[in-house]
Amino acid sequence: MRNSRSFVFAGGEQGSWRVTSERAIAGDPLAPAQYLSVIPADEWTASQASEWILRGTRSNERYSTRDEKQSLSAIQPQLARPEATCAALIPIRKLEAWWDLSQDERRRIFEERSSHIAIGSRFLPAIARRLYHCRDLETAEPFDFITWFEFAPSAAATFDELLAALRASLEWSFVEREVEIRLERDYKSRAG
Amino acid sequence: MRNSRSFVFAGGEQGSWRVTSERAIAGDPLAPAQYLSVIPADEWTASQASEWILRGTRSNERYSTRDEKQSLSAIQPQLARPEATCAALIPIRKLEAWWDLSQDERRRIFEERSSHIAIGSRFLPAIARRLYHCRDLETAEPFDFITWFEFAPSAAATFDELLAALRASLEWSFVEREVEIRLERDYKSRAG
C-alpha cells in the first residue's frame, strides 16, 4: 500500500502537461521529455513507459510559524484552477551543508535572511505552489524537493519575478542542482 | 536504488536481536515476534520471511538548535558499543493534530514544554539513541517514527526512567500509537 500523500512525476511521451521548455539552472539537466504526468503513487505502475520519473510526498510544513501559516492559508489558491493553464516543475537538491545545519540555522537562512515565505506571499493568489519532499524516501532520489507552480498565462512574467527573487536569496547558495521545466496544460490528453 | 539512510526492521523467527518483551503502550500491538533484524534497505529483499516489517529513514534534525545539537554530539555515544547488549525498538505514531501544527508550535511543545532534548541528554552517554522517520515514505507506514535505543544491562533501570519521563510529557499527549519491544543481542545469530 502506498502513502496517499505520495506522487510520481513521469516525463515522457504522454501526460496532461506539455513541456514547453526544460533547462538546468544548476547541476545536471534531466533527459528531454515532451509531456509530464503527475500520478498518485498508488495509481502508478512501473510498466508505464517514461523517460524519467521523480517521486515526492506532501508533508507537514518545516519552517513556517503559526502566523505565517495562517496568513498563507488565507490567500493560497488551490491547484487545478481552470485559468491556471501554465505550470512549472522545479526539482531541487541542496548541499549536504544545508542538511547539516540545525533547525534554527535553517530557519534563519530560509526566512529571516532569505524571506522565502515573504517572497512567496507577494505572488499570492496569482501563483499556486505545492511542495513535495523526496530526500527521505526509501528510493534514492536525485532531488531533495519537487516544487510545483500553477498560474494563468497572464501571470507568466510575475512568475519569472518570483523565481528571480528566490534565486537571488542566501538560501539559494545551498542549491546544488535545480532543473526548471515549464508546462502547459494539454487538453487533448486524458492521462495524469 | 535505495536510499543509503533507509533501513528495514523485520520481526520474525531470525535476526541478531532476541525479543524479550513486546507490549502496546497506546493503540494496537504488533504481531508477536521472537527475533528482530535491522537491515539496510538496499540489502533487504521482500522474499525474506518475517512476521512484520517496518521501514524508516535517518534524516536531518527537525527541532534542535545549534547549541543543543553541539552539546548532544559532544556526549552522544555510537551505536553497537560492545557493552550495549540491550536495545529497545519503539515505533510511534502521532495524531494528525500534531502534524497540523506549525513548526514553532511543535518546537514549543517538543522542547520548551516537554524538554524532550533535555530529558534525553540526562541519560547520555549511557543510552544511545537513533531516530528513523517513516511518515513521508512512499509506502504507507503504520508509524511516523521508529525510535531505537541501546544500553548496557546495568542501565536498564535508567532506561525505564527515561521512558517514564518522556511519556509524562505534554508531547506524549499527541502519541496515538506506541509499541515497546525490548531486545537482547543474540550472539548465536549472524543475520541483520
What does the DSSP assignment read for B5-62?
A: TEEEEEEES--SEEEEEEEEEESPPPPP-SEEEEEEGGG--TTS--SEEEEEE----S
% of chain A at pLDDT higher than 90: 93
A102 touches chain B (CB under 8 A): yes
Which contiguous run of DSSP H or E holds residue B183?
A: strand B175-185
CB contact under 8 A, B133 and A135: no
Least confident of B41-50, B102-111, B174-183: B41-50
Q: Is it the case that residue B111 has pLDDT exceeding 90?
A: yes
A-B Cβ pairs (cutoff 8 Å, strict): 93
Closest B-chain CA to A108: B65
Residue A46: pLDDT band (50, 70, 90) is confident
**Are A84 and A151 within 8 A, CB to CB?**
yes
Neighbours of A82 (CB within 10 A): 7
A62 touches chain B (CB under 8 A): yes
Domains (ranges, CATH) in chain A? 6-185 (3.30.70.3420)
**Are A180 and A23 within 8 A, CB to CB?**
yes
For A17-43, how does the pLDDT look when each residue is reduced to its tens digit (9 = 90+)?
999 999 999 999 999 999 999 999 999
Least confident of A79-93, A100-114, B38-52: B38-52
- Mean pLDDT of the region B77-105: 97
- Nearest-CA distance B41 → chain A (Å): 7
- Which residue in A148, A135, A180 sits closest to A38, CA to CA? A148
A140 touches chain B (CB under 8 A): yes
**Are B64 and A103 within 8 A, CB to CB?**
yes
Of A55, A64, A105, which has the smallest distance from its Cβ to B103's Cβ?
A64
The label of the residue with cell 505550470 reads A87
Q: What is the pLDDT of residue B188?
A: 74
Neighbours of A4 (CB within 10 A): 12
Mean pLDDT rounded to a whole number for chain A? 95
B57 touches chain A (CB under 8 A): yes
Q: How far apart are the two ends of chain B, measured CA to CA in Å?
A: 20
Instruction: Please state, in angstroms and rounded to a whole number, the distance separating the CA atoms of residues A161 and A53.
Output: 28
- Mean pLDDT of the region A135-162: 98
Q: What is the pLDDT of residue B48?
A: 77
Instruction: Please state, in angstroms and rounded to a whole number, the distance separating the CA atoms of residues A158 and A37.
Output: 25
Q: Is it the case that residue B192 has pLDDT exceeding 80?
A: no
Torsion (CA) B1, B146, B101, B140 in degrees, nearest 10? 50
Which residues, in sequence order, are CB contacts of B27 under 8 Å at separation 6+? B93, B176, B177, B178, B179
Q: Is it the case that residue A47 has pLDDT exceeding 90?
A: no
Angle B97-A8-A12 (CA atoms, 0-180°, nearest 5)?
160
Q: Is it the case that residue B190 has pLDDT exceeding 70?
A: no
Give Dmax over CA atoms of chain B in angstroms.
47
Of B101, B105, B140, which has the smallest distance from its Cβ to A1's Cβ?
B140
ipTM entry: 0.93
The label of the residue with cell 508533508 reads A59
For B26-77, how does the pLDDT look when each residue is reduced to its tens digit (9 = 90+)?
999 999 999 999 999 999 987 778 999 999 999 999 999 999 999 999 999 9
Residue B156: pLDDT band (50, 70, 90) is very high
For A163-174, how does the pLDDT look when each residue is reduced to its tens digit (9 = 90+)?
999 999 999 999
Which residues, in sequence order, are CB contacts of B104 under 8 Å at separation 6+? A65, A66
Mean pLDDT rounded to a whole number for chain B? 95
Closest A-chain CA to B55: A138
What does the DSSP assignment read for A110-152?
A: IIIIT-HHHHHHHTTTTSEEEEEE-TTSSB--S-SEEEEEEE-
Q: Is it the case that residue B191 has pLDDT exceeding 90?
A: no
Closest B-chain CA to A138: B3
**Are B172 and B166 within 8 A, CB to CB?**
yes
